Amino acid sequence: MKTKKGYGAESIKVLEGLEGVRKRPAMYIGSTGKDGLHHLVYEVVDNSVDEALAGYCKNIKVLINKDGSATVEDDGRGIPTEIHPQLKIPAVEVALTKLHAGGKFDKKSYAISGGLHGVGISCVNALSKKMIVEIKRDGNIYTQEYSRGIPKTKLKIVGKCNKNDTGTRITFWPDEEIFSTVDFDYKVLETRFREITFLNAGLRIILVDEIKNKKEEFFAAGGLIEFVKWVNKSKEVLHKPIYFKRESGSTIVEVSIQYNSGYQENIFGFVNTINTVEGGTHVSGFKTALTRVINDYAKKKGVLKNGSLSGDDVREGLTAIVSVKLPDPQFEGQTKTKLGNSEIKGLVDSAVSVALSEFFEENPSIAKKIASKALDAAKARLAAKKAKDLVRRKSAFSLGGLPGKLADCSSKKSENTELYIVEGESAGGSAKMARNKEFQAILPIKGKILNVEKSSPAKALSSEEIANLITAIGTGVGENFNIGKLRYNKIIIMTDADVDGEHIKTLLLTFFFRFMPQLIENGNVYVALPPLYRIRKKKDYYVYSDEELKKILEKSGSSAAGNVTRFKGLGEMSSEQLWETTMNPKSRKIKKIFIEDAVEADRVFSMLMGDDVSSRKQFISENAREAQLDI
């Protein structure tokens, strides 16, 4: 049993006050939308995870409450309650009301921490209309209430508990004055907590949604090995997961690797359990070492006679988790998306080089499979290069460098323009008549495009429909991708509201996710939402879902039922109807596509579009009622 020495009131260091958080919340939590809302939960949970990293917390419970609040409860040491030596107020009040105040600045309390900046819990307090903190510590139960960062009560003892029974429970109500939505999304939280438990073997997180009556427990005794298996569970894997852990001083490097038979590369980097979606020095070090070790092995065994395998070659079909835990991470921004510590690159490079070389020597059959996969990828890369060159040559020789099917817009200012990708010639014809020619371009496609999840890059790039898409968008793909060459600000997928239309939409989203993920990350990809029904009374009303129709019919009785028209396809609408309902920026409904979590998005695309039929059936049966997939 570890003692509580080194974590008392004197551990809470004060840097500055809370001013400005409510005025400019996005500076601290990234946004005031859905992402920022969930960031509040992560900030509180990160504090509990820090207690787990320090060895004091085993269980975290998160509740989405019926009254709109969220609760995070842990069995850590409890935030210190004694009077702060400088400020003469309880240490917990310092932590909750002072920006840059916390136990993370001297390395006595936390050697390793995700909540590095110390702005987390105080920001959550500032952006909540109400917050209640409850602490079990030193045999007492303490509580205090806050509103928008200001204490409403003094810290008081409300009961006694066993001296060994310690922990913190924080309940907060997000402020509607700040956030555009205050509804917590179970799926978003579920994804993050699953990752945290994979990255901290032995930590248990329980998520309870009191509104939807859902409950799930996350626990991974196997840590990263279970993580890489979970990411690859819808894929055909080539070998058992490779795992190694190396420590250098107080820095820990953990890596798990597993190749599958597919063509996609998936490297997920984490620093102190924070998902560094933009990578950083830890991911760079891993990539360098992986390329070198596989090249050395291939040359040593005589399977690579001339030249070298590229980084892309050795990473085809790779799933890897690279997790580092270090005392002083330097992140870009408070939302922590990229690691900047230069020394970590060499440290990870060295750890991976030694461990992977040893593994290859001890497991020659697995090493041979990985080298063969990379050699096949090198051959395919040359074929894909020819295909890309062919796409570029076709572009150069076609009229204006653009596909003949494309009905382009007249405006040359890309920030105002839109490209509609439309299913079928009939709908394409209607869309061309309906559009505003100044800023809306139309690209009709022939039904179902190639499923890029099951196809090699060379085959995908040889497809006429995909080549037309790439040429029309203008950015190129892969290593040639350049966002500066994007020809349209909005790329809008417009398909019929039927099963075939949904399938085509999924095929197109799979293409964007695998070949141009930057467009989704940059917020350029949208899905049009055409109406399902028209209700004709004194004037036409358009209805966009079965639920909406049901409500209207219940409200107006049978009088509206005889005028209801079901639109079977876009081609059935007149150009005026299509413009007014689906293409007019003032009246249409379109949905922006987000990748809320790359790990989950990769798994879902692989499962929906790959060969694992049983997983796909299970997913569809579990999600059929929701009808739409949030990506």
Answer yes or no: do 314 and 214 share one domain.
no
Residue 241 DSSP one-character state: P
Output the six-digit token pair for 2.
């570890």
Answer yes or no: do 269 and 367 share one domain.
yes
| DSSP β-bridge partners for residue 269 | 322
What domain range includes position 286?
Answer: 224-379
Answer yes or no: do 477 and 597 share one domain.
yes
Q: What does the pLDDT read at residue 201?
A: 93
Answer yes or no: do 36 and 184 share one domain.
yes
Answer yes or no: do 278 and 351 share one domain.
yes
Q: Residue 630 pLDDT > 50, yes or no?
A: no
Mean pLDDT of the chain: 86
Determine which of 218-232, 464-478, 598-612 has the lowest per-residue pLDDT on average. 598-612
Answer yes or no: do 507 and 494 share one domain.
yes
Q: Residue 583 pLDDT > 60, yes or no?
A: yes
**18, part of any domain:** yes
Q: Of 551, 566, 581, at which residue does a domain stop? A: 566
Answer yes or no: do 145 and 193 share one domain.
yes
Answer yes or no: do 339 and 194 share one domain.
no
Q: What does the pLDDT read at residue 239?
A: 97
- 198 or 31: whose pLDDT is higher? 198
Active site residues: 423, 496, 498, 500
**CA atoms lying within 13 Å on the CB side of residue 393:** 8
**3, part of any domain:** no
Among 529, 504, 457, 518, CA closest to 609:
504
Length of the chain: 631
Band of pLDDT at residue 541, cut at 50, 70 and 90 = confident
**384, part of any domain:** no
Among 435, 437, 412, CA closest to 422:
435
> How far out from the chain centre does Cα 356 lie?
29
Element (H or E) spanning 461, and its range?
helix 457-462
Q: How far is it, in rounded angstroms, from Cα 527 to Cα 525?
A: 7
Q: Can you tell me the mean pLDDT for 68-89?
A: 95
Q: What does the pLDDT read at residue 288?
A: 97
Q: Of 150, 184, 219, at which residue does a domain stop? A: 219
Instruction: Spell out a b/e string for 295-305, using b for 16 or more CB atoms within 10 Å of the CB, else e.
Output: bebbeeeeebe
Among 452, 524, 240, CA closest to 365:
240
Answer yes or no: do 346 and 448 share one domain.
no
Any residues with CB less than 8 A from the CB of 431 and at least 6 apart, and which? 420, 422, 442, 444, 494, 570, 578, 583
Determine the residue type at 90.
P
Structurally, the chain folds into a number of domains equal to 4
Q: Of 175, 190, 219, at which residue does a domain stop? A: 219
Element (H or E) spanning 382, and its range?
helix 364-397
- Residue 358 CB neighbours (<10 A): 12
Q: Residue 16 pLDDT > 60, yes or no?
A: no
Q: Can you tell me the mean pLDDT for 332-348?
A: 81
pLDDT in tens, 489-500: 999 999 987 788
Output the six-digit token pair for 356.
């992977």
Three-state DSSP class for 234? coil
CATH code where residue 47 lies: 3.30.565.10
Highest mean pLDDT among 1-15, 246-260, 536-550: 246-260
Q: What does the pLDDT read at residue 396?
A: 44
**385, part of any domain:** no
Instruction: Spell out a b/e string for 460-479, using b for 16 or more CB atoms within 10 Å of the CB, else e.
Output: bbbbebbbbbbbbbbbbbee
| DSSP β-bridge partners for residue 140 | 137, 160
Task: Annotate 524-576 with DSSP letters as a single string.
Answer: -EEEE---SEEEESSSEEEE-SHHHHHHHHHHHGGGGGGGEEE---GGGS-HH
- φ, ψ of residue 323 in degrees (nearest 5): -120, 125
Three-state DSSP class for 407? strand
**387, part of any domain:** no
Q: What does the pLDDT read at residue 400?
A: 47
**392, part of any domain:** no
CA distances from 350 to 321, 353, 589 (A): 17, 5, 52
**390, part of any domain:** no
Q: Residue 380 pLDDT > 90, yes or no?
A: no
pLDDT in tens, 91-115: 999 999 987 665 554 555 555 665 5
Q: Residue 614 pLDDT > 80, yes or no?
A: no
Determine which of 123-132, 136-145, 258-267, 499-508 has the lowest per-residue pLDDT on average. 499-508
Answer yes or no: do 285 and 333 share one domain.
yes
- φ, ψ of residue 525 in degrees (nearest 5): -105, 130
Q: Is the Cα torsion angle 218, 222, 226, 227 positive or negative in sign?
A: positive
**388, part of any domain:** no
Q: How far is it, in rounded angstroms, from Cα 589 to Cα 592?
A: 10
Band of pLDDT at residue 610, cut at 50, 70 and 90 = confident
Among 194, 275, 205, CA closest to 61:
205
Q: Can you tell me the mean pLDDT for 151-171?
A: 96
Q: Residue 48 pLDDT > 50, yes or no?
A: yes
CATH code where residue 470 lies: 3.40.50.670
Answer yes or no: do 406 and 465 share one domain.
yes
Q: What does the pLDDT read at residue 389?
A: 65
Percent of the chain beyond pLDDT 70? 87
Q: What does the pLDDT read at residue 7?
A: 75
Q: Residue 558 pLDDT > 80, yes or no?
A: no
Answer yes or no: do 232 and 209 share one domain.
no
What is the longest distance spanned by two Cα atoms in the chain? 81
Q: What does the pLDDT read at residue 336?
A: 56
Q: How far is it, in rounded angstroms, from Cα 231 to Cα 604?
A: 9
CATH code where residue 331 lies: 3.30.230.10
Q: What does the pLDDT read at residue 314?
A: 96
Percent of the chain beyond pLDDT 90? 55
Output the six-digit token pair for 312.
């892309």
